[in-house]
Structure 1
Amino acid sequence: MSEPVLAEHRAVEGGAVAGWGVLEQAIELARSGEAFVLATVVWREAPTSGQQGSRAIYTASGEIYGWIGGACAEPVFIREAIATLEAGTPRLLALGASDRFGDLPQGTTAVAMSCQSEGALQIYLEPVVAEPHLVIVGSSPMATTLSALASQLDWRVELVTGSEFSEGLLTPQSIVVVATQGHGDEDVLGGALKAAPAYVGLVASSRRGESVRALLVAQGADQAQLSTLRVPAGLDLGSTSHKEVAVSILAELVQLRAQGAFAAPVTPQAPTTATAIDPVCGMTVQIDPAAVSLEVGDEVFYFCCARCRTAYAREQGVA
């Protein structure tokens, strides 16, 4: 396909191209560790500006990427995305005039709207929580094997040497496995414990672990932090080879993850843009210079569309 024709094709299929761009953004957000909601338009009934396959993202920090509909759909999307993040479960959202819904799948959240377009949308909202962040410190065969195994689970894995390790690599949800084999164990553990990650484990025998604990205490390590140190790291599987040790550590981490040990608390931030409730249809409306409004006495009312404004003006007996 020639470049001019390709450009024209992209223009015609603009919604699809934009949708793939949102997926690329989703991958970047997942790698960064930020929770978000991925929204996809799975059905539409014309006339509506939202297209089937259109996608948007709402992050826990209140950022929006992509586009799934116009001024009527966006405030509802934000509100429901926040609820989806808080619940941590996906949902199907139906937007439009109530007489356009038809038979909806069980569990669908229906939101009646009275937009001028009179179209309808069904949007799938999927919460995305970051995969565990595993930092393995060491260059032993066990460390390499553990890195490879955890990567197969799509975890975010960083394999670093003791000299490359720093507290800046960690977050409160990070997992740290120290496998430096006696080469600066105490220094790495001291830094890791100060960062207070979700898990710190040392690959060593119980006897070696007690020696390391004693040295950390002598160096002034906090007792509460030391109590979180797991030595030896991993489940007791009676393992002997470095591959079996790696399996035992990953097994323990998978078990802890299933128990919610590494889950980050999600507290989504609402956007800073002020909102109001349309007094006619009850929709949430963003207050901005382009908003449809009507001044009645000393009060300003905002509407999702001109139709609601006209209806309210007629009701109030104002122009």
Structure 2
Amino acid sequence: MMDRAEALRGERTPYVLATVVRAERPTSAKTGDRALVLPDGTMEGFVGGHCAESAVRDQALALLESGESTLLRITPAADSAPLDGLVTVHNPCLSGGTLDVFLEAVIPPARVDVYGDGPVARALAGVGRPAGFDVRPAGAGDPPSPDAAAVVVATHGRDEEALLKAALDAGIPYVGLVASRRRGTAVTSALAGGDRVRTPAGLDIGARTAPEIALSVLAEILSLRPRPAGPVERAPAGETEGCCH
């Protein structure tokens, strides 16, 4: 299971690792049983029968949207006292028993493709990687990665228009140009969709050095990313006559 999880991380595929941390009989799942839930709803592994599987899948898909983790209790008890950090799902299956399943969302770090080899480009890698970004240097002829969260062009006048156009055409969520305000405006004004380019790239924090500029760019990428909703308690698993945990 963990080898499969490692392979998914290598492929930059998000997933939820579900681990049974408590099983109150009668349940078919035992403490320590695990399963992986993929974005398409596929489950690999075992955390119980149909009812438990449905509840785990439902909540795991919500967590993939929020990027958070939670403890899920699947119980036949009609009235369970709410607890912080615990999502409780009423399970009407006839087998009875209660399962506590820890759901850990594993989301790949945001990928940032950086064009250029100057001080700011190097600083983006030096600052970004310890901060949890997947910063990848890119050559002038390399297309943006389809799963990139951001493209930053820091080539200081070389191939800027072509690189920005490729990023815009690819629909990259954040496209930034490291340049002075005057030159950035001149470059982007001739581009279709140039108003989507953030230039000068980065939040205005008074940055002067290359690491400070890199920090301002990464902060802007964070500030503009979509705000996921928190995990929601989905509807309980549907009644299935005779199903089991």
TMscore range, shorter length: 0.7 to 0.9
Residue 136 in 1 paired to residue 111 in 2?
Answer: no
Higher relative contact order (CA 8 A, sep 6+): 2
Deviations 1:205-258 (A, max 9, x none): 1222233235xx2xxx32xx111112211123333332232222223223334x
Matched residues, number: 236
> Residues 174-189 of structure 1 correspond to what in structure 2 (within 5 A)?
174-189=149-164
> In 2, are the aligned partners of 1:72 and 1:115 still within 8 Å (CA)?
no
Q: CA deviation at 1:115?
A: 4.6
User: Does 2:134 correspond to 1:159?
Assistant: no
**Higher share of residues assigned helix:** 1
Aligned-pair CA distance for 1:63: 1.8
8 A contact 2:51–2:91 mirrored in 1 = no
Unpaired runs of at least 5, structure 1:
1-17, 265-275, 284-301, 306-319
Q: 1:145 to 1:25 in 2, by over 3 A?
A: same
Moved more, 50-59 or 177-186: 50-59
2:220 is equivalent to residue 255 of structure 1: no
Higher CA-based Rg: 1
TM-score by length of 1: 0.63
The alignment's TM-score, normalised by the length of structure 2, stands at 0.79
| Per-residue CA distance 1:181-225 (angstroms, 9 max, x = gap) | 2121111112112112111111111222233235xx2xxx32xx1
Query: For 1:233 and 1:103, how far apart are their aligned partners in 2?
Result: 49
- Aligned residue among 88, 99, 116 for 1:109: 88
Q: Shift of residue 51 of structure 1?
A: 2.2
Identity %, equivalent residues: 34
Please give the secondary structure, in 1, of the residue aligned with 2:21. Answer: strand
Establish whether residue 65 from structure 1 lines up as the match of residue 44 from structure 2.
yes
Do the aligned partners of 2:123 and 2:211 also contact (CA within 8 Å) in 1?
yes
Match of 2:146 among 156, 170, 174: 170
1:240 and 2:208 correspond:
yes
| Letter paired with 1:59 | L
- Counterpart check, 1:95 vs 2:88: no
Which residue number in structure 2 is paired with residue 55 of structure 1?
34
Q: 1:148 aligns with which of 126, 142, 167?
A: 126
8 A contact 1:91–1:109 mirrored in 2: no
The gaps in structure 2 that reach 5 residues or longer are 230-236
Cα deviation, residue 177, structure 1: 0.5
In the TM superposition, residue 154 of structure 1 has moved relative to its aligned partner by 1.6
CA contact (8 A) 1:176 1:199 kept: yes
